Amino acid sequence: MVKHQEEALDRTFQALADPTRRALLARLRSGGDLSVSELARPLPISLPAVMKHLDVLAQAGLIERAKKGRTVSVRLNPAPMEDAMKWLIQYRRFWELSLDRLARFLERLERKK
């Protein structure tokens, strides 16, 4: 089970690493469905390139697609990002504790002067 979770986390971070994919997710943040062409419209890349980015996002589980007639709509699925945040929070706690210890150490050094 842990290996599956690690693979899912890897896919999430890989998908989020690209600025175009993050821009696509930001457009979906409002919670509504958008067609692929609506998503692609403001981007300076071709529709096939947008489709490839959407494939990566779908493989990471960050989006869901639905087809109605000839129109494919896309919706944000935030669950994988929530899992990534839980993982990051563990390291946030580590760094906060480490920085608190460093601050106490520096304060002791300052008092000795």
CATH number, domain 2-112: 1.10.10.10
pLDDT value of position 4: 63
Task: Identify whether the C-beta of residue 87 lies closer than 8 Å to the C-beta of residue 9.
Answer: yes
pLDDT value of position 1: 46
Please name which of 72, 28, 20, 69 lies closest in space to residue 46, comparing C-alpha atoms.
20
Amino acid at 70: R
Domain ranges of the chain: 2-112
pLDDT value of position 110: 87
Of the chain, the percentage scoring pLDDT greater than 70 comes to 96
Residue 2 pLDDT grade (very low, low, confident, very high; cuts 50, 70, 90): low
- Tell me the average pLDDT across 15-42: 93
Please name which of 32, 28, 59, 56 lies closest in space to residue 42, comparing C-alpha atoms.
28
Global model pTM greater than 0.85: no
